[in-house]
Each structure stands twice: as C-alpha cells, then as structure tokens.
Amino acid sequence: MEQHKCDWSGVVCRGGKLPLQGYNTVLLFLALASIVFIFVWSTSTSLSSHGYETNKEMKKTSFEPSSIIRRPSSSGSCSCKAKTFNVTSAIEASKLSAIKKRRAEEYRKQLIRETTDLDVVLVNPSNSPLQYPSHGFTVEPLKMTFIPGLGVNAYGREVYKVSLCASHGVIAVDSAPHGQVMAQNQSIHIIATSVDDLNDLLAHVTYTSVVYLLKAGDLVHFTFEDHEAIFPVTIKKPTLPVLYDLGEDINSQVTIAVKTFLRYAELRYLIKTIRERYPDIRIIIADDSLTTEKVEGHNIYQYIMPPAQGWFAGRNLAISQVTTKYFLWVDDDFEFLKETSIEKFVEIMESVPELDVLGGSVDTNRFYFTLEQEEGADGEGGCLSRLHKYHKQLPGFENCVLVDGVVNFFLARTDSARRVGFDPKLNRVGHSEFFMDGLGRLLVASCSGLVVGHQPMHALSKYQKFRHPGKGDENMKLKLHYFKNHLKCVTF
C-alpha cells in the first residue's frame, strides 16, 4: 500500500457555504497551503513497514513544525568482553555468506512485525494554539472512531482553516452544519468563519484505519496557519483476557513440572520429598529416557517422549500440559526440604503482577544474571554479555532483586513461559537460552529464602555421556545464536 501524501488536488467539498467576502481569502490560503503541503510531503522519505510505505521524517519548513525524530540507529560495530564465543566461527566459511543473507532477510521481516509508525520520538511545538490527543488515542482496525480533544485556541480571524492528514487511516467529519469540509483520500481541510464553529466541527472528526493488522500505528498531521502538530494513533485489535482461577489452596494454583532422563532413582526420591510437603499437588513429568520405567502415584502424570529428545523439548511438553496459573520448575535430582515453600513463591508473584518468573536457590547456589545487549553494525549482528549481577531491588521485597535469568528452580506464569517457549533444538546444552529468548518479554526476579535441595551426585556413565555431549552441540548452539538471535558474539 502506498504512503498517502497530502495532495489537495481534486478535493471534494461538502458542508455549508462561506460568506462571499471571505471566499477570496480562503482561495488564496488554500493555494498557499497546497504548495506547502505538496513541498513538505514530496521531500519526505519513505520507509517500508508492514508492506506499505510510511513516512518517519518531515523536513522542517520556515515555521518550525513539530518534529519527528528517528530513534537512534546502531552506532557501529559492537565488541564482547573476555571469555567470548564468536558465534560466526561456528559456521563453515563456505556457507557463511548464504546464511548471512538469509538471516538479514529474516531480521528485516522480524522488524516489520515488531515495529510501527509509533517507534519515533514526537517533539510537541511550544506556544501552539492547537489542542489534540498527545497520547492514548487507540482505535480498532477498520473501525471509525471520533478523535478526542481536537481544538483550536485562536481568535480574531475572519476565516479559520485547519488540515488533518493521515497515512494509514481516513480522516473525515461526521457532520458539517456550520462550515466547509474538503476531503481527499486520507486527508481533509476544514473551513469555518468562527472559532466556535471550527471547534464544533473538530469535535466531529473521525479516524478510520485502512490497514488490518493486529497492532500498528499512524501519525496524524494537524495544521492551522503556521502551526503544525503531529499526534500518534495506536491501531490495535482488542484482546480477551486469559484468566486462571486460583481456587482455594496451593494445589489449584501451582503445578510442579520436571523433565527426566535415565535418573529414575533420583526422580522417585524427589517425588517422595514433594509428597511429604504437598501430598496432593499435581506433578507433570516429561520423560525421554532410552528405556522408560512407569512412575506411579497420586496426581502424577508421566508423558513418554521419543528417546533422547532433549532438555528443552521436554520442558515444552511439560508446560503444555499445565492448567494452573503457575508452574514450579525443578530438576529430577532436586529434593524438597523442610523450608521449601511454594506458598512463598506465590505470595510474591501475586503481590507483583508484572513478574513473570521468580527464582530461588538450589542449596546455597542462588545463581542469577543480567543480559547486556549491543545492537552492532547493520548486517553484522549484535553482542550479548551475561553478567552475574542484578538490575535493582524488587520494590517491597528487600531479599529479592530484578534480573534477566535465574537458577533452574523457579516459579513461572504459565502463559508467559508458553509465549517465549523452549527451543527444542537445544537438546543437551541450554538454560540461559530460555531467558535470552525472553529478554524484554519476561520480568524476572530472584529471591533469597526460596530454597530447594540438591541430591548427592551419582556416577551414571550413560547419563554423563548425554549430559556432556562435546563440542558438536556447543557449535550448534553458537550457530543458533548467530541466526536466531542475530548475534555476532556471546560472553558468558
């Protein structure tokens, strides 16, 4: 769809007539306004977005209109610190060029999905007589909506004229009893002989998007004399809430999820310790053991997978069967202690509705980290560093900090974890990768005092063979970071 430009040739007029003495003034004003509009829009640059053209910049005219400023782009190549994995080195040199080209195309499409015309900075003009919705104007796709708050605060003119122009929506006036409206495509001129009549007309201005996307945006240009304002329109399909009934006890609030492989003795001991504290809570087991054994017990659901499908595939299977608001993730060689309390997890999560994941400690190991990202040069990929530090304290909880990733003992909101998912390509090596995929999508915290035990290590030669698979799996993970996460290097 081509970007609509504010071209006023062939406009259609409707509404009341203007007094003859003001008509020549209006014609002259229209001619000058047309020249200004054509000049401004013809010098605008076009940017492909959602399959149609969209302007993100306007050149300033002599009257200094409100500005559209691009968000700063990448400043150049990024570099990772010590102990860095150069993910590019994991790819065969003969295949790198073709893979890089495919990655660039996928990245371009991803940006189209995740950005709208509202990804700009708007600078409002000072001392402007224009009144308009500077924030919060949201419409449904293809649905006519009145624009709230439009007005002009200026007096002493014989004739008042304003113009409104949109890129991805049609601007119209619902009724025009006391003025004249000239409309073309997605733009209108409104002319009146008093400010009261003008503001009455502006109260009947509507916006109807001409694009159907679940989430998009538009910028409306609103001009009067030498004044211009630009205000955003959020085009968004409404969503239905997805709510979970917490019920009356912990059994209706949390499901325990675990992935197991070969370690049945450890798994059964884990279940024993869980049942000592929580005799009725639901336990879901994803099992990809080479030779499976039936794990029986009250409210235990064992899902048998094809052999050796891997860590993240098992996690996906387990959480796909969760019906409660939260799930508690545990490894099959953990053990519940007397101080292990799922209720404490839930209390914090319910107190901070924005939280998606809350981590605890395994014995004395309270592993957490933050992720720092640099975008890098165009086409090169970014740099990501995993650092053992936190962002800040979680407000209201002195023993909790906000982070980007936590230890492998955490409570998560079921719908949040499903939206991010666990990449099944990561068979043997992967934990931080879930939080890397969730960066900017998951709000994560870590708290002391939320503890689970770790069973003594047992030498299982067959298990260790899969647990430490070697360089091949590491290279596969680095290749995944290169393409999927658009990275050049990773620092752990």
pLDDT in tens, 29-41: 444 444 434 333 3
Same domain, 304 and 350: yes
Same domain, 315 and 210: no
148 belongs to a structural domain: yes
- Who contacts 170 (Cβ-Cβ below 8 Å, separation ≥6)? 185, 186, 207, 208, 210
Same domain, 212 and 353: no
**Final residue of a domain: which of 211, 236, 261?**
236
Summarize the confidence of residues 44-60 as an average pLDDT.
Answer: 33
103 belongs to a structural domain: no
5 belongs to a structural domain: no
- CATH of residue 212's domain is 2.60.40
Rounded CA-CA distance 137/334 in Å is: 50
Whether pLDDT at 61 is above 60: no
Same domain, 212 and 314: no
For residue 123, name the pLDDT band (cuts at 50, 70, 90): low
At 204-244, the pLDDT tens digits run 999 999 999 988 999 999 999 999 999 999 999 988 888 88
**Final residue of a domain: which of 236, 265, 292?**
236
Rounded CA-CA distance 449/317 in Å is: 29
- CATH of residue 260's domain is 3.90.550.10
Count the residues in the chain. 492
- How open is the CA angle 443-356-245, to the nearest 5 degrees? 155
Residue pair 221/116 in contact by the 8 Å Cβ criterion: no
**Final residue of a domain: which of 236, 260, 282?**
236
Same domain, 160 and 220: yes
Which domain does 345 fall in, by range? 250-491
Same domain, 192 and 218: yes
78 belongs to a structural domain: no
At 446-461, the pLDDT tens digits run 999 999 999 987 656 5
Is 145 or 248 the better-scoring residue by pLDDT?
145
Whether pLDDT at 75 is above 60: no
At 360-378, the pLDDT tens digits run 999 989 999 999 999 888 7
The number of domains in the chain is 2
For residue 52, name the pLDDT band (cuts at 50, 70, 90): very low
CA atoms within 13 Å, Cβ hemisphere of 256:
30
Same domain, 254 and 231: no
